């Protein structure tokens, strides 16, 4: 029956009018790039006129980007396509009926971090809206990161239920996962290879037609929709695994009294044709909205799609969830290091004043989603410590889940601290002067616990600190230099 879809598409002709659902970090750059491509005639950016994000409609139609932070080229391109009349933002979802292709770029964040389940509600609402106005021959593409099997499963069912049409016969359906990173949105879409997977060959072919015109250095990599879903979740699962491998190595190096960074440099030195040793960086933990959840998308996928077919060693935990466990242990390890450093100075966690530097999950960023600093903060408070948090970048007014008293005043956070725990590698922390910090702490041997390799151990030890660092087995057992 795919001939039926082929002939409907042939009658419809090339993709000219495109709809992008979800005016966020993924949807906005995607929409303006489609609108700027000569191959296409008009792009609607669909945005619900809700109290929290309806303001984006007016802003975008004035050519102003609602995205925070620097996005090179985005606002210029937005102004260009708005004034050319090839892009408009609208809350009128009925215009989906005019589109030859519709993409959905709607986040699937954790519903509750404890149960590690994504919240598909917004995405399902978006899919329902598309189904309501879907017309024959249209291509529907999911760009959100989703559990393998979602495109050909839940999404297909909802679209068919809402439209009365049949996927693969009346309309094309595909998955093309986004691979953008904040600060490089346009560049990533243009230059990264684009995974494109349809529920059938006709859908894949139509999706290739949609994405090819916006790629410059990138190439389209066609496959099935489920393979595309596995690719996206696996590429982040593998990064999480690589980080866990070096975090475990760091724990081993601490136990063996050696410097993990010497070992890392040694391992990385083995290179040459066909030799790869992708050794990443150990740290205080893994945060963000990608690596913390995509492993569980992959695990759910195989459980849902192939539970009986999976041949795996009996009783063995998945390597991937084990890796998640090691990365999630690192904030706990940071607390153990803090406890050990305080004890060396004759103190305990209970009653200690801890200055936690860095709430963001990544260096020099205001993004604090799923930050590893949070479990440390909660555990330290539970142990009876007073924790004051500093972050130059995270805005206490707008960031989600910020701790009470999050401050941008570093001196105030450091004042009278018994311990300084560094969770983010912000450039401000790389420039800290041990003697100045010691003066603010105003105690004989404050602790410094370095989670991001930003503190020179000898400089801090010479200034009188009790030093602990992730992977620094060569320094963690130091004595005081009187
Ligand atoms: N981290 C380490 N050690 C490392 C690298 C990262 O501990 O060697 C930690 C970071 O501190 C952070 C977390 O892992 O807490 C995630 O860091 P990340 O660099 O992976 O940043 P993300 O979460 O923004 O990942 C994104 C992903 N991009 C997309 O989903 C499009 C990921 O696929 C990219 O590989 C990654 O950016 C990247 O390479 O920048």
Contact 128, 158 (CB under 8 A): yes
Quick one: CA torsion of 359, 361, 142, 66, rounded to 10 degrees? 50
DSSP state, 470?
A: T
pLDDT by residue for the chain (482 residues), tens only, comes to 668 999 999 999 999 999 999 999 999 999 999 999 999 999 999 999 999 889 999 999 999 999 987 899 999 999 999 999 999 999 999 999 999 999 999 988 877 777 778 889 999 999 999 999 999 999 999 999 999 999 999 999 999 999 999 999 999 999 999 999 888 999 999 999 999 999 999 999 999 999 999 999 999 999 999 999 999 999 999 999 999 999 999 999 999 999 999 999 999 998 888 887 889 999 999 999 899 999 999 999 999 998 899 999 999 999 999 999 999 999 999 999 999 999 999 999 999 999 999 999 999 988 898 999 999 999 999 999 999 999 999 988 878 789 998 999 999 999 999 999 999 999 999 999 999 999 999 899 999 999 999 999 999 999 999 999 999 999 998 987 66
pLDDT tens across 19-48, in order? 999 999 999 999 999 999 999 999 999 999
What is the share, in percent, of the chain residues with pLDDT greater than 90?
A: 88
Task: Give me the pLDDT at residue 2, please.
Answer: 62
Residues 6+ apart with CB under 8 A from 427: 363, 364
Q: Which ligand 1 atom minimizes the distance to the CA of 367? A: 24
Residue 84 phi/psi, 5-degree rounding, is -75, -15
Which residue puts its alpha carbon closest to atom 25 of ligand 1?
290
Which residue puts its alpha carbon closest to atom 20 of ligand 1?
291
Paired tokens of 86: 């090839």
Write the DSSP string, 269-322.
Answer: T--BTTB--------S---SSSTTTHHHHHHHHHHHH-TTT----TTPPPHHHH
Cα(155) to ligand 1 centroid in Å equals 28
CA angle, residues 177, 370, 412, in degrees to nearest 5: 140
CA angle, residues 265, 269, 271, in degrees to nearest 5: 145
What gap in Å lies between CA 409 and CA 417, rounded to an integer? 14
Cα(77) to ligand 1 centroid in Å equals 27
- Residue among 110, 243, 248, 327 whose CB has most ligand 1 atoms within 8 A, to mutate: 243
Which residue puts its alpha carbon closest to atom 40 of ligand 1?
181
3-state secondary structure of 86: coil
What gap in Å lies between CA 215 and CA 217, rounded to an integer? 6
Paired tokens of 438: 């010691």
- Ligand 1-lining residues (CB < 6 angstroms): 179-181, 235-236, 239, 243, 280-281, 283, 286-288, 290-291, 361-362
Task: Give me the pLDDT at residue 33, please.
Answer: 98
- Residue among 30, 289, 324, 362 whose CB has most ligand 1 atoms within 8 A, to mutate: 362
Task: Give the residue numbers marked as catalytic.
Answer: 232, 290
Residues 6+ apart with CB under 8 A from 275: none
Task: Give me the pLDDT at residue 181, please.
Answer: 87
Q: Considering the entire predicted model, what is its pTM? A: 0.94
Write the DSSP string, 433-464.
Answer: -HHHHHHHH-SSS-EEEESSS-S-HHHHHHTT
Task: Give me the pLDDT at residue 107, please.
Answer: 85
Which residue puts its alpha carbon closest to atom 36 of ligand 1?
181
Task: Give me the pLDDT at residue 481, please.
Answer: 66
pLDDT tens across 391-419, in order? 999 988 878 789 998 999 999 999 999 99
- Residue among 178, 179, 181, 369 whose CB has most ligand 1 atoms within 8 A, to mutate: 181
Q: Which ligand 1 atom minimizes the distance to the CA of 145? A: 30
């Amino acid at each position: 029956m795919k001939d039926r879809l082929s002939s409907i598409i042939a009658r419809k002709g090339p993709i000219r009018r495109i709809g992008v659902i979800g005016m966020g970090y993924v949807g906005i750059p995607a929409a303006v790039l489609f609108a700027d491509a000569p191959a296409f005639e008009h792009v609607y950016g669909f945005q619900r006129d809700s109290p929290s994000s309806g303001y984006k409609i007016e802003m975008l139609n004035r050519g102003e980007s609602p995205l925070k932070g620097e996005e090179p080229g985005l606002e210029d391109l937005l102004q260009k396509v708005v004034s050319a009349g090839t892009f408009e933002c609208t809350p009128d979802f009925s215009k989906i009926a005019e589109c030859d292709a519709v993409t959905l770029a709607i986040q699937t964040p954790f519903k509750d971090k404890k149960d590690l389940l994504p919240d598909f509600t917004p995405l399902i609402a978006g899919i329902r809206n598309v189904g309501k106005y879907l017309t024959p021959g249209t291509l529907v593409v999911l760009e959100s990161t989703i559990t393998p099997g979602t495109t050909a499963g839940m999404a297909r069912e909802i679209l068919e239920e809402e439209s009365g049409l049949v996927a693969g016969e009346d309309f094309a359906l595909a998955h093309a996962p986004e691979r953008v990173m904040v600060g490089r949105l346009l560049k990533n879409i243009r230059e990264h290879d684009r995974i494109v997977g349809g529920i059938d060959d006709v859908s894949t072919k139509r999706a290739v037609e949609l994405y090819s015109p916006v790629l410059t250095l990138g190439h389209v990599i066609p496959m099935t929709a489920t393979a595309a879903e596995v690719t996206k979740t696996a590429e982040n699962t593998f990064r999480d695994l690589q980080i866990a491998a070096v975090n475990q190595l760091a724990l081993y190096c601490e136990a063996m009294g050696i410097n993990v960074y010497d070992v890392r440099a040694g391992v990385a030195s083995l290179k040459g044709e066909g030799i790869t040793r992708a050794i990443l960086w150990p740290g205080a933990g893994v945060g963000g909205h990608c690596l913390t959840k995509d492993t569980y998308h992959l695990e759910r996928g195989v459980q849902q799609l192939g539970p009986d077919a999976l041949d795996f060693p009996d009783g063995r935990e998945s390597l991937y969830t084990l890796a998640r466990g090691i990365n999630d242990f690192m904030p706990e390890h940071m607390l153990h290091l803090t406890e050990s450093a305080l004890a060396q100075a004759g103190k305990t966690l209970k009653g200690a004043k801890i200055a936690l530097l860095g709430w963001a999950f990544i260096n020099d960023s205001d993004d604090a989603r799923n930050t590893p600093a949070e479990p440390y903060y909660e555990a330290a408070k539970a142990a009876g410590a007073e924790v004051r948090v500093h972050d130059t970048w995270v805005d206490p007014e707008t960031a989600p889940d910020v701790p009470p008293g999050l401050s941008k005043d570093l001196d105030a956070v450091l004042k009278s601290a018994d311990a300084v725990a560094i969770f983010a590698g912000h450039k401000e922390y790389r420039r800290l002067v041990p003697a100045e910090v010691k003066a603010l702490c105003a105690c004989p041997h404050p602790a410094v616990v370095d989670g991001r390799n930003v503190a020179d151990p000898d400089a801090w030890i010479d200034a009188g600190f009790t030093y602990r660092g992730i992977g620094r087995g060569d320094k963690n057992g130091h004595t005081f230099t009187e």
